[in-house]
Amino acid sequence: MIANEEGRWRDGERSLLSLVPLSPDPSWTSSFDSALENLVCTGTESVKDDLSSEPWWLQALCRVSISHARVAQKSYGNEKRFFCPPPCVVICGNGWNLRRQQLLAQGLSPEAASLTGTLGVEGGQGSPDPLHLSHDDDAGMTFACAKSLYISDTDRRKTFQLALKLRHAGGQPIGTFLGSPIRVISKPSKKKQGARHGELAVVSGSHVALFSRLRSQTVSTRFLLATPPIFTGSARRWASLLLHVVSDQQSRESELSTMEGVVRYGATIQLVCTLTGLALPPLVVRRVERGTASLQCTEPVSQLHKVALQVSGKDLYLGLVGHSVIFAQATPCPGDACRQILSDSSSWTIIGTETTDISFYQSLGPPTPLASPIPTALSLQLSSVGDGARLEILGEGLDTGLCICFGEIPMETVFRPPNSLICTVPDVSAFSSDDLQTRPLRVPLSLSRPHDSLTFPTHFTITFSPENPLLTLTPRQNQALPPRNTSAYPRVAGGKWTGSQKTMDAWLSALHDEFSKSRFNLS
């Protein structure tokens, strides 16, 4: 079954709201959409969007996505525990084709202008994996995975990052891109998760991957993958699944209500592929022990636990046979009514995943390497200064060589160590907006590096209205890459954005407060 588009950034609503939980039933989201329409002070049709006509730089945008597990098991001695699921890289955007054409114009051969690269452990002792990039014409993206990466026992770090190094085959470097931090563990925890190990628990609203491995044989590993209109098993590719805990009673009544907090065994969960929107029906997560499913266990679900996914009220479990996803029948356990005997195909391993997205474009001149680190905007702060406003961007990889751009207008920017950029907000007269008196104007924010003509779009916009500007947490429209994990977005007014981890009423209330806090009167 195909889920609705509400779980991704909808085409006409780039300036609105965070991730809305998906469901296989359209009626689940109709009332939610209506509430959102009534909540937002200006509908999408009444907002003059600077992105409504595709800006020139969107045609020059280069995108890189690095997806990997949140934890990795340490290898000991000669044993090599390869990262599972294998870290993967997605490259897309028309900017890569433009760079290739520029290199061809300089006299390089098509082979020398093609992309190549490696993915390895940043600062690790092992050799990085060479990437065998394959292009998918239908999806308009290039994909590769690294299946031979591991962390040695001689590496004493508790966390590490993956480093993607891209270059053209002719030797022209592109840059180094780092993934999210990965925590090192010795083995999956079999103990009840307490305060000390709570960070290893699976949380509602997070992203996970599922894989099946028969008789602990690595060669038999198959990952759950969404290939619309069905789910399948793959030995190479895997799906990042958005997991939400839902009320079992409400899932039967086809009403949308998600729950926050740690996922516990016995809970009903909804799994949705972040890339395709394909959704599984609500399933009950069960603990797997010695080939049986425990019907009474209520402990927290932890990283790399073996789980079974049961159809609510039935003795059917999600299974994988070869590349086919099935629902397998369980049998009662003799002498223990609280357990059911599972087939090998019904046992899954669950692990949290992270995705890092990087976007950039070069406005002038020949292709140049990207100087690391890549600047990233994480949160915004707006304050009054006399008759105007001042904007501060907090982030990572910021330095004195960057300036903040409102649309295509660069502003004089001051770097304040260790991680912020400050500038004044330009007057609305700086933009071509003849009808601002009646309709607000939305402008994208980006970080520009003038010395190499590189610009890095952020996930934020600022909206000028006749009364005041409205600051919004707004991911741009991105059809080629899966949406970022919105649980990682900070609030404008401090703290972390928890968005879809709240119930619907609490979520709407928090969103309304966020809009209210973000208002600032320029007059």
pLDDT in tens, 327-342: 999 999 998 999 999 9
How much is the average pLDDT of 484-511? Answer: 35
pLDDT at residue 510, as a whole number: 42
> Which of 7, 20, 15, 5 shows the shortest CA–CA distance to 502?
20
Token readout for 23 is 């469901």
> Which of 385, 392, 389, 378 shows the shortest CA–CA distance to 519?
389
Q: Residue 163 and residue 166: Cα distance in Å, rounded?
A: 10
How much is the average pLDDT of 415-429? Answer: 90
In this predicted model, what pLDDT tens digit does every residue of 78-96 receive, in sequence order? 888 999 999 999 999 988 9
- Contact at 8 Å (CB) between 466 and 436? yes
Residue 292 CA: distances (Å) to CA of 287, 288, 322, 341: 8, 6, 21, 4
Q: How confident is the model at residue 521 (pLDDT cuts 50, 70, 90)?
A: very low
Phi, psi at 513, each rounded to 5°: -60, -40
How close are the terminal C-alpha atoms of the chain, in Å?
51
> Which of 296, 340, 298, 347 shows the shortest CA–CA distance to 321?
347
pLDDT at residue 285, as a whole number: 97
SS3 state of residue 27: helix
Token readout for 281 is 């029906």
Q: How confident is the model at residue 365 (pLDDT cuts 50, 70, 90)?
A: low
- Contact at 8 Å (CB) between 517 and 493? yes
Q: Residue 165 and residue 119: Cα distance in Å, rounded?
A: 6
Residues 6 or more apart from 47 whose CB is under 8 A from it?
15, 439, 440, 441, 442, 463
Q: How confident is the model at residue 436 (pLDDT cuts 50, 70, 90)?
A: low
Please give the radius of gyration of the chain, using alpha carbons only, rounded to the nearest integer. 24
How much is the average pLDDT of 432-449? Answer: 75
Q: What is the mean pLDDT of the chain?
A: 77
pLDDT at residue 214, as a whole number: 80
- Contact at 8 Å (CB) between 283 and 293? no
pLDDT at residue 221, as a whole number: 92
CB atoms < 10 A from the CB of 505, how many? 10
Q: Please tell me the least confidently modeled range out of 72-76, 250-254, 354-358.
A: 250-254
Which pTM was predicted? 0.75
Q: How confident is the model at residue 53 (pLDDT cuts 50, 70, 90)?
A: very low
In this predicted model, what pLDDT tens digit does every residue of 254-305 receive, in sequence order? 555 678 899 999 999 999 999 899 999 999 999 999 999 999 999 999 999 9
> Which of 88, 79, 67 shows the shortest CA–CA distance to 152?
79
How much is the average pLDDT of 118-140? Answer: 87
pLDDT at residue 291, as a whole number: 92
Token readout for 265 is 């065994």
User: Within its chain, how far is the Cα of 519 from the centroid?
Assistant: 28
pLDDT at residue 309, as a whole number: 97
Between these two residues, 39 and 178, which has the higher pLDDT value?
178
